[in-house]
C-alpha cells in the first residue's frame, strides 16, 4: 500500500550538487578529496553530458561534489553555463558552484615546479595555457556561489577551508569569512567588504607588544584603548549583523569581510578576531584567516589568549 506522506517527502527531497571548478593547478583535486572526506559523493571529470543523469533517480541522501575542468571530454564554458542554468531551474536540484581561483603567476610557478604540461598548452609554455584557461573560465567564475583564492594556500589550508565552509551543514547556510591583511602586500582577492584599521593606535610602537599579534589579549586591549575604537567597532558590528540576514535572503552562499592595517599583525588581526567572535556568538558559521600571520614560520606568540567559541582559525 502506498504511503502518501512518504511520497510527498520523496518529491520534496533535493538532489544536492556542488560543482567544483577553476583553473588547472588551483587545487580542484585537493578540494574534491576534502569534500569526499566530509561525506560528499565525489565524482571527478564526469562528462558534462552525463551530469543530468545523476538526477534521474532518487536522491542519494548526501550531497554530490562534481569536479569539472577543461580536461572533461566535452567541456566548454557555454555548455557548462547552460548546464548550470538548467539545473538551477530544476525544482529537484539544490545547486551550488565552488570556484577555486588562483593568481596566474602562482599557477605558472606551480606548473614550473611540477614540470607538468598545461592541458590547454601541450606544445606551448604553461603561461600561454594559464592565460587561455583563465579567459575561458571568466564567465563561470562570475557565476560562482563560493570563491576560494588558493594563491597563498597550502593543500592543508585548502582542506581546512573546505571543511569550514561545507562540513556539518555549513553549506546550507551562508558562511562568513573574516580576514586580516597588510596594505603593504596589497588587497586580498575575493572579499566583499574591506575596512581600514590604520587610524587606530598601533601596538608596533610599544616594544613589549611589537613581537606579539592581535590574537594576544594584551595587544587587543591596547587597540581597544583608542578612543575611536568603540564607535568604529560598534558601527561595523551593527552594519554586518544587519547585512548578513539580508544577504542570506538575497541568496548569497558566503560573505567575506577583511580588515587591513600597515603590517597585518596587530590592529587588523585584533579587530577581525573580535568581529569573528561576535558573529559566532550570534550563530553564524565563521572562519577566520590572517594572511600575514600565515606567512610566518615562527610559532604563535607566547601568552596568546584565544577565548574563541564556535570559530575556526583557518
Grid cell at residue 224: 581597544
Which residue, 8, 20, 290, is CA-closest to 141?
A: 20
Average pLDDT over residues 275-296: 88
Mean pLDDT of the chain: 82
pLDDT at 242 over 80: yes
Domain count, the chain: 2
Residue 4 counted as domain residue? no
Q: How far apart are CA 148 and CA 146, in angstroms?
A: 7
Half-sphere exposure of 255 (CA within 13 A, CB side): 24
pLDDT at 67 over 70: yes
Whether the CB-CB separation of 159 and 269 falls below 8 Å is answered with no
Average pLDDT over residues 89-100: 86
Domain boundary among 172, 193, 224: 172
Average pLDDT over residues 112-123: 64
Neighbours of 208 (CB within 10 A): 10
Query: Is the domain of 222 the same as that of 287?
Result: yes
pLDDT of residue 305: 43
CA dist 5 to 2, 12, 55, 56, 258, Å?
Answer: 9, 11, 21, 21, 47
Task: State the pTM of this model.
Answer: 0.55
Query: Is the domain of 147 the same as that of 266?
Result: no
Domain span holding position 290: 175-313
Query: Is the domain of 97 the same as that of 241?
Result: no
Query: Is the domain of 201 the same as that of 117?
Result: no
Confidence of residue 60 (pLDDT cuts 50, 70, 90): confident
Amino acid at each position: 500500500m502506498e504511503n502518501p506522506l512518504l511520497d510527498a517527502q520523496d518529491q520534496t527531497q533535493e538532489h544536492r550538487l556542488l560543482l567544483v571548478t577553476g583553473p588547472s593547478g588551483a587545487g580542484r583535486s585537493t578540494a574534491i578529496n576534502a569534500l569526499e572526506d566530509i561525506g560528499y559523493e565525489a565524482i571527478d571529470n564526469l562528462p558534462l553530458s552525463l551530469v543530468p543523469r545523476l538526477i534521474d533517480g532518487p536522491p542519494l541522501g548526501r550531497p554530490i561534489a562534481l569536479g569539472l575542468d577543461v580536461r572533461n571530454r566535452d567541456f566548454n564554458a557555454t555548455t557548462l553555463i547552460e548546464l548550470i542554468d538548467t539545473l538551477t531551474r530544476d525544482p529537484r536540484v539544490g545547486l551550488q558552484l565552488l570556484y577555486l581561483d588562483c593568481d596566474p603567476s602562482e599557477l605558472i610557478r606551480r606548473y614550473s615546479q611540477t614540470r607538468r604540461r598545461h592541458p590547454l598548452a601541450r606544445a606551448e609554455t604553461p603561461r600561454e595555457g594559464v592565460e587561455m584557461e583563465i579567459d575561458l573560465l571568466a564567465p563561470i567564475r562570475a557565476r560562482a556561489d563560493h570563491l576560494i583564492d588558493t594563491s597563498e594556500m597550502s593543500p592543508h589550508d585548502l582542506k581546512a577551508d573546505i571543511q569550514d565552509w561545507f562540513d556539518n551543514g555549513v553549506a546550507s547556510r551562508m558562511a562568513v569569512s573574516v580576514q586580516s591583511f597588510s596594505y603593504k602586500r596589497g588587497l586580498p582577492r575575493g572579499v566583499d567588504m574591506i575596512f581600514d584599521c590604520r587610524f587606530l593606535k598601533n601596538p608596533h610602537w610599544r616594544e613589549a607588544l611589537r613581537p606579539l599579534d592581535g590574537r594576544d589579549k594584551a595587544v587587543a586591549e591596547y587597540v581597544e584603548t583608542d578612543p575611536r575604537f568603540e564607535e568604529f567597532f560598534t558601527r561595523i558590528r551593527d552594519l554586518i549583523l544587519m547585512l548578513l540576514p539580508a544577504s542570506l535572503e538575497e541568496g548569497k552562499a558566503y560573505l567575506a569581510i577583511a580588515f587591513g592595517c600597515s603590517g597585518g599583525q596587530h590592529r587588523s588581526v585584533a579587530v577581525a578576531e573580535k568581529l569573528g567572535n561576535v558573529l559566532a556568538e550570534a550563530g553564524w558559521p565563521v572562519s577566520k584567516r590572517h594572511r600575514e600571520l600565515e606567512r610566518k614560520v615562527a610559532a604563535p606568540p607566547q601568552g596568546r589568549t584565544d577565548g574563541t567559541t564556535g570559530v575556526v582559525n583557518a
